[in-house]
Amino acid sequence: MSSLTARRIALVTGASSAIGAAICRQLAEEGCQVIAADVNLSGAQAVALSLGERVKPVMLDVTDPDAVAACIGQILKQYGRLDLAVNNAGVAGIGLDTGEYPLDEWHRVLGVNLHGVFYCMKYQLKAMQAQGGGIIVNMASMLGPEACWGGSAAYVAARHALVGMTQSAAREHASQGIRINAVGPGFIQTPTLAAIKPDDYAAMVGLHPAGRLGNASEVAELTCFLLSERASFINGSYYVIDGGYSAR
């Protein structure tokens, strides 16, 4: 297990999702006090109920900067500090060519996947600067450095920008004892894939040299490693976890 003993108060957004829930679980198991934040409060509450007293659910819409500021403020009021943050909240968006992409959908996807992460980092960084350090992991996608397929202009644009924003912020705040990295999951086994037709699912698996899809717990392992002191010299980096999909 990675060493997280020196930094114990953690915020995870998008905590009701498969990846977010898995990260909450591992952080709690490693002794952290975890704030599980999600716009879906009932989902966050279910995660907290399953993991015990180390996980506290809160409702958070990351597209609302005032709500984000209030959430971070409440964490500081209750716990006195914020040591770890995982900005995992995200939406997929619809699949249409760029010329046909609806404006409202464009703004919705960027509002969550890019602006929401910026809002979170803005207030997380203020808290971490004041206390002399902290660690942030931003959840991007294997589409962070390249567009592996079409029909996803908003999602790809947000993920590209997120990786760049991560690297820029990491460079700016390294001297303040703050590390910021990004993780890029590929196709991860989640409940939403249960609706995919068997032939389509088999075709998806066939695109992976690993011969399978990833598990949320595997993404959590990488994320929690980056949050640990074992990764103390890793900063401003992007790590894809996709079973070799993007290496084809």
Q: Are 148 and 186 within 8 A, CB to CB?
A: no
CA nearest neighbour of 188 among 147, 148, 141, 153: 141
Q: What is the pLDDT along the chain (248 residues), one digit of tens a residue?
A: 445 554 599 999 999 989 999 999 999 999 999 999 999 999 999 999 999 999 999 999 999 999 999 999 999 999 999 999 999 999 988 888 888 989 999 999 999 999 999 999 999 999 999 999 999 999 998 765 665 556 678 999 999 999 999 999 999 999 999 999 999 998 888 776 777 788 888 888 888 888 888 999 999 999 999 999 999 999 999 999 988 888 77
Overall domain count for the chain: 1
Residue 77 burial (10 A CB sphere; 0-12, 13-18, 19+): exposed
Q: CA angle at residue 16 from 35 to 51, to 5 degrees? A: 60
For this structure, is 155 an active site residue?
yes
Residue 224 within a domain = yes
Residues 89, 27: Cα–Cα separation, whole Å: 17
Strand partners, 240: 184
Residues 107, 100: Cα–Cα separation, whole Å: 14
Residue 1 within a domain = no
Residue 207 within a domain = yes
Write out the residue range of the structural domain in which residue 70 sits: 9-241
* Among 155, 201, 238, 245, the one annotated catalytic: 155
Query: Residue 132: how many CB atoms within 10 A of its CB?
Result: 10
For 219, the 3-state DSSP assignment is helix
Residue 4 within a domain = no
Residue 66 within a domain = yes
Residues 22, 15: Cα–Cα separation, whole Å: 8
Tell me: the pLDDT tens digits for 204-227? 888 888 888 899 999 999 999 999
CATH number of the domain residue 66 falls in: 3.40.50.720
What are the structure tokens assigned to 163, written together? 């990786």
Residue 248 within a domain = no
Residues 124, 69: Cα–Cα separation, whole Å: 9
